[in-house]
């Protein structure tokens, strides 16, 4: 099982704090998981999750590219964060 979490504006726009996705070959990497979420969630999810500035993290580490996912991983999507 993959635990998918949404934070801040993304959580509010999707009206969803997160979902559990059964791990299988079709979601074995981050890009495939994101594509599945967009497909299953519909146009709103596609619009929100495919924004150029969405930050993705796997097991609490921000990743800049597609990476392999393993059963039990935690994946998070959140808007860009700025310091101040």
pLDDT in tens, 45-75: 999 999 999 999 999 999 999 999 999 999 9
The answer to whether residue 65 is domain-embedded is yes
- The mean of the pLDDT values for the chain is 95
Mark 19-36 as b/e (b = at least 16 C-beta within 10 Å).
eebebeeebeebebbbbb
Residue 60: CATH number of its domain:
3.10.20.30
Domains identified in the chain, total number: 1
User: Which element (helix H / strand E) includes 33?
Assistant: helix 30-41
Examine residue 73 and state whether it is found in any structural domain, yes or no.
yes
Greater confidence (17 vs 81) lies with 17
Nearest Cα residue to 38 out of 60, 24, 19 = 19
DSSP assignment, residue 29? B
- CB-CB contact of 26 with 70 (8 Å): no
Determine, yes or no, domain membership for 83: no
């Amino acid at each position: 099982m993959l635990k998918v979490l949404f934070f801040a504006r993304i959580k509010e726009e999707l009206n969803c704090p997160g979902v559990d996705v059964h791990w299988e070959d079709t979601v074995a990497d981050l890009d495939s998981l994101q594509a599945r979420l967009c497909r299953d969630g519909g146009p709103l999810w596609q619009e929100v999750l495919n924004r150029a500035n969405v930050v993705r993290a796997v097991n609490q580490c921000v990743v800049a590219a597609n990476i392999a996912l393993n059963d039990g991983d935690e994946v998070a999507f959140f808007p860009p964060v700025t310091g101040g």
